[in-house]
Amino acid sequence: MSESIRFFLGNLTTPIGRLTWVVDDQGRLRAAGFTDGHPRMERALRAFSIGPAALLVSQSETRDANEAFESYFSGDFAAIDRLPLFAEGSEFQRRVWSALREIPSGETSSYGELARRIRNPKAVRAVGLANGANPIAIVVPCHRVIGADGSLTGYGGGLERKRWLLAHERPSLFSRQLAM
């Protein structure tokens, strides 16, 4: 009989709301998102609590993620890059999510650029759908994707959070949009 995976819940109050994440018993980040107004994260939390796996609150098991998120919100953007991840998705989604992680903090990319980066330039819409299905907010930085014309496009956590995250990572470029 195989052992069941245990999942641990962590959270942090940030300047833009409560960030919640799930880490598995191998220390891999499985999900992260804002729980207020973020239905995808709420669904993920329910899914991790169903079946033989248990969703447990544990400060010790989630310490690395907590420290990385605290560092990120304090301005050390590279801290989240060191977190081990495990995101369930199709091969295409995982390719898109991997490409998202290659966008440096303080920079942005368009859906078309991402499609070209994964060598599938006609898959712009599919890239958008994969971006929207990203289960690990901030660490897999879907907030760094903008429209081809430079406009802010949708974000599961809300456009105000997206503006804030972009301004946080590169204040000189996005500070005017925060004031809007």
Catalytic site includes residue 142: yes
Q: How far apart are the first and last CA of the chain?
A: 56
Phi, psi of 177, deg, nearest 5: -70, -30
Instruction: At 45, list the tokens.
Output: 């939390």
Which of 65, 142, 145, 166 is an active site residue?
Answer: 142
Please give the positions annotated as active site: 142
